[in-house]
Amino acid sequence: MSLQDFVKTSKEWLDEEGNLGTRYILNQAYIGVLRRMAPLFEEGTNIFKRDWDLLIVLDACRVDEMEEVADEYSFLNNPGTHRSTASTSGEWMRTTFTSEYTDEIRDCVYVTANPHSEEVESEPFLDFEDIYNYGWESESGTFPAKTVTDIAIEKGREHAASL
């Protein structure tokens, strides 16, 4: 999007959404800056270039917080970092689920509660479960980790023989 397009669209957002439009404008400006700065940073590694049988992506998770409690949980042995292929969820999905990895995607069960999941729902996943469409809990104002976890376990068991 050119600067001229951004200014025009920003005016439309403000006219239509008021204060909410301001938040959207600031968010889009931030994302635009990140996209333009991306070439200055080290390129990330696509998850399909790594060896894994089960991969859990914790979007926006703080590794330092996980490291602090790692000794309390046996399954958190040596949490580490992995440089992402993108700085936003939508961009990550576009740079991860590419035609280069079609065979790997066909063997992948993808469980997500991410609002950007519509960007990849047409990929040839073995199974695709979009919790975003039904898992919101109004009381807590989020997608409960238990819901996402339970569905991921259910899907894992359902496809265990084919994985």
State whether 80 and 9 are in the same domain: no
* Average pLDDT of every residue of the chain: 84
**Long-range Cβ contact pairs of 38-44 (< 8 A, separation 24 or more):** 38/86, 38/87, 42/83, 43/83, 43/85, 44/82, 44/83, 44/84, 44/85, 44/86, 44/95
Quick check: pTM over 0.85?
no
79 and 36 fall within a common domain: no
Q: For residues 153 and 62, give the distance between their C-alpha atoms in angstroms, rounded to a whole number.
A: 23
Same domain, 35 and 100: no
120 and 152 assigned to the same domain: yes
Domain hosting residue 9, numbered range: 3-40
pLDDT tens per residue across span 22-49: 887 887 877 777 666 655 556 788 999 9
Burial class (CB in 10 A: 0-12, 13-18, 19+), 28: middle
Distance CA 55, CA 129 (A): 15
Kindly state the tokens that stand for 127. Answer: 């199974």
Q: Where are the alpha helices (DSSP H) in 18-62?
A: 19-37
Give yes or no: residues 22 and 7 share one domain: yes
- Is the domain of 27 the same as that of 62? no
Q: Are 10 and 86 within one domain?
A: no
With cut-offs at 50, 70 and 90, classify the pLDDT of residue 163: low
What is the number of structural domains in the chain?
Answer: 2
Residue 130 CA to chain centroid, in angstroms? 12
